[in-house]
Amino acid sequence: MPMGWWWWFVDKGKKVIIFFIFAFKLSPNSQIRVVDFNQLYDKNPCKTLGSATIKIIMETPTVGMTEVPGRGRAMVALRPIKGGEIVLRDSPILLYSALPFHSDNHLNNNPYCSNCFTTISQPPQTVTCSTCASQFCTLACQSAASTTSHTPWVCQTLIRLRDYFSSNRVPLDVQIQTRFVVSAYNLAIVSQSKFQTLLSLQGSVDSVNSVASQSDVVSESDASFINSVICSVCPPLPVQFGFSIELTKVLLAKDKLNAFGLMEPFSEQNADRSVRAYGIYPVASFFNHDCLPNACRFDYLDADKSSSLNNNTEMVIRMIHDVPQGREVCLSYFPVNWKYSERQKRLREDYGFVCDCDRCKVEAGWSESDGDELAMDDDEGNDEGNEEGTMDEDVDERMEGEDGDVMKGDDDFPHAYFFLNYMCDRTNCWGTLAPLPPSVGTTSGVMECNVCGGFKKLDQV
């Protein structure tokens, strides 16, 4: 609940000065918005202040965290929520590149800012670190990074790791995990409180091991390898951070269960869009999975950064449709058109649970070929473009039957409604559609795709 105090006093008998101090014990999605500087002007004793009256609105929290047996922490609707309503804006405590180390110095191979991961395809825009040659989108971003994601320790570490990985062939997933561990230890250097937040997220080596097959748990040998590379190659970490193989393994488990994949820019020509960066979003991490989600996430990495109001790394979670109070709000951890066996495999091996959502209950009774009508693997049956096992909701997976033949009879396929209404049908997209935020009490008539960013009117859907 919000608690507020305010004081006012008269300055030389003419001006009234008011101070507000608020203390909060709120769910993380609550916001204060300064909405109107003048609205109270005529009704308020602050009249003599003219335009200095500020109205502060506390938005009622839409979701709150609770424990759900068998599912751990979960986000639940605290009141009826409309389709399109924003239930969370979350900033990352940690972002790291999903590209190999050798790509770092070449804008053609790695056209993303090393700090905020916006696309910087125009060389004149680029700012280059004079020590390690990492690229940044602006001086301001580089300057912000120097005390957060790109400290002197990271800068020196990158130089050495690029050298190391250019002369040793190491699989991409291990390079990406190494980037994560470096970012996580750097987080311990720059912010103990954020590091503790990272440690408080779901994920221990045991929890992943419990259901997953042995081949897919946080690999003991990968963790040892990454640990030894960081010990032997990187500048030493301050002793008090307790750098150890055990901590490295725990961190990798947190990453596996909680990292969100942030995708490359969408293009209809590119069926193999992959991840540009991963992010740990501490509150968004509390959303559980459902194979027919009622909310989806949007990111705006390539949004115009010229306005100081635009925080391009913020994640926005919006409702896909209305839900009643008390309903759990869930995301899908991967594109919703994946077939039953793929979804079960991913959730079991990477997230350590067996999904028994309503959709899985129905599809469990289908034959494999029924599932094929909904989703398609690549030729080897792999989950193309989504090999990192993290919450890559946006990864492209094509749904078979593009001409509209995906729908089975209603009895076999009760969730047909979801696919018709909330899945984008643009070539190579297959994102999820959610209404734009509603204006007072009404759902907006325009749907936005969380992958291609396209808009559709509800009556076109």
Ligand X SMILES: C[S@@+](CC[C@H](N)C(=O)[O-])C[C@H]1O[C@@H](n2cnc3c(N)ncnc32)[C@H](O)[C@@H]1O
* Residues contributing to the site for ligand X (CB under 6 A): 70-74, 202, 257-258, 285-286, 288-290, 351-353, 355
- Residue 280 CB, nearest distance to ligand X (Å)? 10
- Rounded to an integer, what distance in angstroms lies between the CA atom of residue 287 and that of residue 299? 16
Q: Is 187 helix (H, G, I), strand (E, B) or coil?
A: helix
Nearer to ligand X, 13 or 70 (CB): 70
Nearer to ligand X, 144 or 211 (CB): 211
- Residue 78 CB, nearest distance to ligand X (Å)? 17
- Residue 31 CB, nearest distance to ligand X (Å)? 22
- Residue 431 CB, nearest distance to ligand X (Å)? 20
Nearer to ligand X, 286 or 340 (CB): 286
Burial class (CB in 10 A: 0-12, 13-18, 19+), 461: middle
Nearer to ligand X, 93 or 137 (CB): 93
C-alpha closest to that of 84 among 302, 259, 320: 320
- Residue 279 CB, nearest distance to ligand X (Å)? 13
DSSP letters along 58-88, please?
Answer: EPPPSEEEEEETTTEEEEEESS-B-TT-EEE
Rg (the chain; Cα; Å): 24
- Rounded to an integer, what distance in angstroms lies between the CA atom of residue 453 and that of residue 434? 11
Nearer to ligand X, 53 or 288 (CB): 288
Nearer to ligand X, 86 or 283 (CB): 283
Nearer to ligand X, 349 or 425 (CB): 349
- Residue 76 CB, nearest distance to ligand X (Å)? 12
Strand partners, 449: 433
Nearer to ligand X, 127 or 257 (CB): 257
- Residue 10 CB, nearest distance to ligand X (Å)? 51
- Residue 191 CB, nearest distance to ligand X (Å)? 20
Nearer to ligand X, 94 or 141 (CB): 94
Q: Which residue is nearest to ligand X (CB)?
A: 72
The CA distances from residue 343 to 51, 330, 354, 421, 454, in Å, are: 56, 15, 10, 21, 26
Tokens describing residue 436:
């734009």
- Residue 129 CB, nearest distance to ligand X (Å)? 33
Q: Is 226 helix (H, G, I), strand (E, B) or coil?
A: helix
Q: Is 57 helix (H, G, I), strand (E, B) or coil?
A: strand
- Residue 350 CB, nearest distance to ligand X (Å)? 8
Burial class (CB in 10 A: 0-12, 13-18, 19+), 259: buried
DSSP 104: T
Q: Are 408 and 373 in contact (CB under 8 A)?
A: yes
Nearer to ligand X, 75 or 277 (CB): 75
- Residue 58 CB, nearest distance to ligand X (Å)? 26
C-alpha closest to that of 371 among 400, 395, 347: 400
- Rounded to an integer, what distance in angstroms lies between the CA atom of residue 227 and that of residue 230? 5
Nearer to ligand X, 285 or 444 (CB): 285
Q: Where are the alpha helices (DSSP H) in 191-285?
A: 192-200, 205-211, 220-233, 245-258
- Rounded to an integer, what distance in angstroms lies between the CA atom of residue 321 and that of residue 443? 9
Q: Where are the alpha helices (DSSP H) in 36-151?
A: 139-145
The CA distances from residue 444 to 89, 154, 181, 371, 431, in Å, are: 19, 45, 42, 33, 19
